[in-house]
Amino acid sequence: MKKYFNVTGNCNPQRHYMVDVSRKFEQVMDLIEQGEYFAINRPRQYGKTTMLSLVARELRQYKNEVVLSRMSFAGVGDTIFDNEASFSPRFVGMLARSLDMFHPEIAEHIRSTAHNVVDLDTLSIFITGFVRKVNLDVILLIDEVDKSSNNQLFVSFLAMLRDKYLERNDGEDFTFKSVILAGVHDVKSLKLKIREGEEIKLNSPWNIAADFTVDMSFNPAEIKTMLVDYAEDKGVEMDFNAIADRIHYYSSGYPFLVSKLCKNIDEEEANQNLDYNPKHWILDDIDWSFRWLTRENYTTTNFDDLAKNLENNPKLYNITYQVVFGTQKGGVPFSLLEPVIGLGVLYGIFTEENGRLRVHNLVYEQIIANYMRAKSFADGKYEAAEISIDYCKNGKLQLEVILLKFQEFMQEHYSDRDAKFLEREGRLVFMSFLKPIVNGKGFMWKEPVVENERRMDIVITFGKNQKEVIELKIWRGKQYHQSGLLQLSDYLDFQGIKTGYLLIFDFNKNKQYTSEQIRFKNKEIFAVRV
């Protein structure tokens, strides 16, 4: 069977090119063997279901010692969660159905003895009798647990499992050896979603759960294992370490994005009439895949969820805006005690770096920046550049002309706006101005900057060979200006170019709209103040 890079559903090592997750798998199996109850809460398409499939495949090899029930709340409908009388017998039915293939005799026993299950109390009694009867280790895996439409009912169900776990440890009950829940939302965020006016249990229904500390993201060494597998299968040559590092640079190891960046090269690039050699992967291929994935006329269900989560939570949108466009001095502090930040982590939007929030990966940062810019433009907040002006010469983008025109644009349209507006919106104003100029023949993306949230780097590629870097920074005095030049110089070294551009937002009342050519280290930097 021909293998491919999979970005939908769970992955199978016989059908798909996969990262070697054996170390992560061993950590999960250790928790199960220790009889732990735990939850795998990770963002969409982060490898949860694939991990459950690997666990199930392993445990089913020992069906004479272990009874595995694997079920999912996805697609079961809403009526199951109406009340205890609906949920309890339906849960027993799902339990039986999950055992039909590998333990048909146990499944039949469940169906013939579960007639009295009508609420959570009788469900608890049934579980005791069921586990006692089979006299084997019974392990329960539930995927998509946050699909329940009645979170209070599910919280009560977890409380029942917790009570049985505690009584089992005291030798007073029989219950599941291990319970694994998988979903985006953790129990704490499910409780936050309980409808107003409903009872909320003050004690945690899942306080017996072991911490799940397995890093489900992929590091460069792990990404390399998938590349080696692909190269051996396709006869492709590449610098595995360099390619894996570049994939990680754009994705931060987010599993869906890792596979998608590779899938683009394997299946899409050859169709774009590019200079592509199917026998070799180079760093330019990864850069192309990033640009292709984050183009504005393309989306995926993953990106749709990203936008939906921001739209549905104004507080989350506002914090994300601050992080993406660096509008808060010193950056946004990272604290999981703040529910909105915790929600952003659950959705895969945020991660922590040096005690500050940052967007999890460069792909998401670009998608979010595009989305917020397009949203603001559609709302009529900003004006774009006059595309009738010729910003190109001999096929090359003229950045000096563009920055000087933006300076005029700011004087004309925004000179009367207050400093707070410009400090918050200035970067987005520039991106809205720049986008139609670059569109069609080039691509621009925002480079994440964490250590100094008062600056922002925009990288532009145009045509086949042109690459430019513009640093956007807020004027904070000569000392910070010098440090900004040093940061820009270092970043130009990283990008392998010798010329750069500096756009300075000056909020002093007596500022001058100036421009100058600066020679710094071995770089030529054109600076414009607005």
Most confident residue range from 206-215, 238-247, 472-481: 238-247
What would the two tokens of residue 32 be?
Answer: 């199960």
Burial class (CB in 10 A: 0-12, 13-18, 19+), 481: middle
Report the 10 Å Cβ neighbour count for 129. 12
pLDDT > 70? residue 138: yes
Radius of gyration from C-alpha coordinates of the chain: 27
Q: What is the pTM of this model?
A: 0.86
Q: What percent of the chain has pLDDT above 90?
A: 55
CATH topology classification for 300-381: Arc Repressor Mutant, subunit A (1.10.10)
User: Band of the pLDDT at 189, cuts 50, 70, 90?
Assistant: low
- The ranges assigned to domains in the chain are 22-192, 220-293, 300-381, 387-530
Strand partners, 470: 458, 501
Query: pLDDT, tens digit, for every residue of 139-173?
Result: 999 998 887 656 788 888 999 999 999 999 999 99
Query: Which fold does the domain 22-192 belong to in CATH?
Result: Rossmann fold (3.40.50)
| 220-293 and 300-381 have identical folds | no
Answer yes or no: are the C-beta atoms of 249 and 363 closer than 8 Å. no
CA dihedral 403, 293, 323, 477 (to 10 degrees): -30
Max Cα distance, the chain (Å): 85
Helix/strand/coil (H, E, C) string of 222-237? HHHHHHHHHHHHHCCE
The predicted-structure confidence for 451-471, as pLDDT tens digits, reads as follows: 554 567 888 888 878 889 998
Q: What local confidence, expressed as pLDDT, does residue 191 receive?
A: 52
Look at phi and psi of residue 334 and say left if phi exceeds 0, alpha if psi is from -120 to 50, else beta: beta
| Residue 471 burial (C-beta neighbours within 10 Å; 0-12, 13-18, 19+) | buried
Most confident of 116-125, 193-202, 284-293, 491-500: 116-125
Report the C-alpha gap between 345 and 252 in whole angstroms: 14
Q: Assign 383 a pLDDT band (cuts: 50, 70, 90).
A: low
Per-residue pLDDT at 381: 61
Which residues are 440's β-sheet partners? none
Tell me: the pLDDT tens digits for 55-110?
Answer: 999 999 998 999 999 999 887 878 888 899 999 999 999 999 999 999 999 999 99
Q: What is the rounded CA–CA span in Å between residue 348 and residue 353?
A: 14
Token pair 């895949």 is found at 289
Q: What is the DSSP string of 351-362?
A: EEETTEEEES-H
> What is the mean predicted confidence (pLDDT) over 121-144?
96
Model pLDDT, residue 447: 76
* Chain position carrying tokens 């996969």: 18
Host H or E run for residue 99: helix 84-99
Helix axes 84-99, 151-169, angle to 10 degrees: 60
Q: How far apart are CA 368 and CA 310, in angstroms?
A: 9
Distance CA 40, CA 48 (A): 7
Tell me the pLDDT of the chain averaged across its residues.
Answer: 87
Calpha distance 16→11 (Å, rounded): 6
Q: How far apart (Å, rounded) are the C-alpha atoms in residues 231 and 34?
A: 38
With a cut of 60, say whether residue 275 has pLDDT above it.
no
pLDDT score of 514 more than 50: yes
- Between 1.10.8, 3.90.25, 1.20.120, 1.20.58, what CATH number should domain 220-293 receive? 1.10.8
pLDDT per residue as tens digits for the range 478-494: 777 888 788 888 888 88
* Helical residues (DSSP H) of 170-300, grouped into ranges: 187-192, 220-234, 240-251, 255-263, 283-293
